[in-house]
Amino acid sequence: MEKINLFEQKTKNKKAYKLTTPLADRMRPEDLNELLGQDHIIGKGKALRSAILSGEIGSIILWGPPGSGKTSLAKIIAKYTDANFVSFSAVSSGVKKIREVIEQAKYLRDFKNKKTILFIDEIHRFNKSQQDTFLPYVEDGTIILIAATTENPSFEIISPLLSRSRVYTLKSLSKDDLKIIIKRFGDTYRVKSNCVCWIFFPEINM
């Protein structure tokens, strides 16, 4: 019988996963120091950075254009926080899914003494009634809400939820930031940076 090398098989599976993973996820930063263009909120000495590093973070709203790093920042926060991390999109999830997450969060809080971070992408897609669903659970600490939006929170998020969260504005990545990302990708996957740039960012001159 042929022996199976479990370590070798695991390595192959991991490589296969990387090849089938969307490019945006493969290029996603995994550490605060890798997240580019947002030093105004996560640079050294900034309040948000201190909160993340301490593992003590309250509900926040991340407002910024597509591709600015909202989802990446939420995932990085999850790494630093000893909490259950649940992520879903307001586009594809409804109140039923919210209630399931809340029940799980209550159980973890009451019986495991564990916090739950709920990351909602495109929260502006939820109507006022749907946003209201989160309010009591943000207030009593059942969940720590991290909401991402491309729209102005002052107009798209209900006032009670807004008043219980800190709003952080993310900026668009500069060309210099994109060049660093391109170089990282090229170094990781042994692809020439100018080839990556030509395919994905033709407007940038490396």
Q: What is the pLDDT along the chain (206 residues), one digit of tens a residue?
A: 444 454 454 444 444 445 566 666 777 788 899 999 999 999 999 999 999 999 889 999 999 999 899 999 999 998 888 889 999 888 877 778 888 999 999 999 999 999 999 999 999 999 999 999 999 999 999 999 999 999 999 999 999 999 999 999 999 988 888 777 777 766 665 555 454 454 445 454 55
Is there a contact between 86 and 117 (Cβ–Cβ < 8 Å)?
A: yes
Q: Cα(66)–Cα(121) distance, rounded to whole angstroms? A: 11
Domains of the chain: 31-172 (3.40.50.300)
Q: Cα(57)–Cα(59) distance, rounded to whole angstroms? A: 7
Per DSSP bridges, beta strands 166-169 and 83-89 are: unpaired
Is there a contact between 83 and 117 (Cβ–Cβ < 8 Å)?
A: yes
